Amino acid sequence: MTLSHSLEDYLEAIWVINQNKKVVRAKDIVDYLGYRVSSVNNALKNLAKEGLIEHERYGYIEITEKGANVAAEIYKKHETLELFFADVLHVDEETAARDACNIEHYISDSTFRRFSEFIEFLKKENSNCYEEWRKYAENKGGKMKLSQLKPGQKGVIKSIEANESMKQRFNSMGILQGEPVEIIKKAPLGDPVMLNVKNYQISLRKTEAEMINVEVV
């Protein structure tokens, strides 16, 4: 029996909900995964057919022992990947969760095993690899100029190297320290640059974009 990626998702969702709620209903899955209730229903039938859950008409959903084992394994992958993305790579939480949720279905067992060991290694307190890496990454991250980002990339403004009147102008556009920005598009030679700040779309000259230092997110 090999589960489709889709069914893996459903099963994992049921398992996770079950951790907090003791009783799982179709509606919970709808809320968790964002699918329509009919799609959930369909998936439940398939999971039941595989003996991974039990589900009485109009009743609660119970995960079987077999189902719990399968789900726990999937979730472990999810957890490990998310931890790596969020705590090691320092990707934002939402992205880390999303990526983990996708990749968990595709990483093979043997790769995952090695990967887990690798993370275990990084977390060992007598290793300073993690600290070295953080130091390295911070230098890297701090150095980007807004003009160097590509369309679709997001960042947070770290500092602005401009005279006062220029800073004033940036200020009035919502461009100030700590503000998240996203590049919408760039003209062929990077001039002008179109970006998103506080839900406004702003167009900057390349020379202006070069004054703004960002940390890529």
Applying CB under 7 A, the residues found at the interface with DNA are 4-7, 9, 25-27, 30, 34-39, 41-46, 55, 57-59
Under the binding rule (CB under 8 A), the answer on residue 76 touching a second copy is no
Ramachandran bin of 51, using left for φ above 0, alpha for ψ from -120 to 50, beta for the remaining angles: left
> Minimal distance in Å, beta carbon 152 to a second copy?
7
Which of 59/151 has CB closer to DNA?
59
> Minimal distance in Å, beta carbon 115 to a second copy?
6
**CA pair distance 2, 71, nearest whole angstrom:** 13
Stretch in the footprint of a second copy (CB under 8 A) among 44-52, 128-136, 189-197, 202-210: 128-136
**CA pair distance 81, 106, nearest whole angstrom:** 12
Which of 21, 76, 123, 140: binder of a second copy (CB under 8 A)?
140
Q: Which residue has the tokens 């959903």?
A: 61
Residue-wise over 131-165: b if at least 16 C-beta within 10 A, else e?
Answer: eeeeeeeeeebeebebbbbeeebbbebbebebeee
**CA pair distance 182, 210, nearest whole angstrom:** 15
Which residues of the shown chain bind a second copy in the complex (CB under 8 A)? 85, 88-92, 95-96, 98-99, 102-103, 106-111, 113-115, 117-118, 121, 124, 127, 129, 132-133, 136-137, 140, 152-154, 216-217
